[in-house]
Amino acid sequence: MKDIVRKLPLIVLAISLLGISINLFLAPHHIAAGGASGIGILVEQVTGVDRALTVLILNGFMLVLTFFFLGKQIFVNTIIGSILFPIALAITPEFMATEDRLLSVIIGSSIFAAGVATLYKIGASSGGTTIPPLILKKYVGLSTSIGLLATDAVIVLFSIYVFGFEEFLYAILSIAITSIVMTYIETGLKRRKAVMIMSDSHTEEIKNALLEKVSRGITVFSVSGGYTGREKDMLLIILSNHEYPTVINSINQVDKNAFVIAYNVSEVHGLGFTYHPLE
């Protein structure tokens, strides 16, 4: 119970983001991009039943399935979000924040992704269509990602018959944007570049040049060639993105033939990369 109370403010914030994304950006443009909210948008268009009521009924049914098939722990983690989500849809004002449909899809999907990613990080859920894939994984062994994709695909396909082909394409775009933004949030916002440098005869000069140009630590590895077996040193340095051109120019000034590998790092902590407030 203490854990639930501690998480409650974040759950409320995340669910509020979901309500804003649906009522202000996606639903006014008839974008049903999967999930319980997508079903609610479709049902509202066909029958006139408020989407919040549809989501409440659907989430209630899914909670029953959760309790009997997935156990008490997942039920507890799901119940708050399942109740708050239809409430958020009911109390969030419904209006078109912008008439530009593409802009609405981009902003709405990004806000939706932020809300869902926040729920995932604290082990909570808004219920709905996330439950059947968990049941299928437990009893059939089907991957949850495949189950979610199949569920959303069915919902999005129905949007062709309810709204039309253009709305169907925008729904697919919404799912893609949501997936990309969620991946970016879940894998870290503190993205940096890692650069590995090998030189036949100028390793020490390159190291000294980098230490002079950028205020970053350098790690030296002893490596050996797979074909020649010859041992040499390899340098590893972690950089912010704006420091990368400076490092490349410094390497080229010392040894234009140096072997350089650069790749993106999702998140970096400590050693000058983490902000610490003054105490």
199's CB contacts (< 8 A; 6+ apart) are: 206, 254, 255, 257, 258, 259
pTM: 0.73
Give the tens place of pLDDT for each residue, 113-152. 898 888 877 777 788 887 888 788 788 887 766 777 788 8
Nearest CA to 89 among 23, 10, 39? 23
**pLDDT of 58-108, one tens digit each?**
999 999 988 888 888 778 878 888 999 999 999 999 999 999 999 999 999
Quick one: fold of 192-265?
Answer: Alpha-Beta Plaits (3.30.70)
Question: Six-digit token pair at 209?
Answer: 């040049």
The domain segmentation of the chain, as residue ranges, is 2-186, 192-265
Q: What is the C-alpha to C-alpha distance for residues 18 and 34, in angstroms, rounded to an integer?
A: 13
Q: Tens of pLDDT along 30-41?
A: 999 888 999 999
For the chain, give percent helix, strand, coil, nearest 5: 65, 10, 25
Q: Which residue has the higher pLDDT, 188 or 23?
A: 23
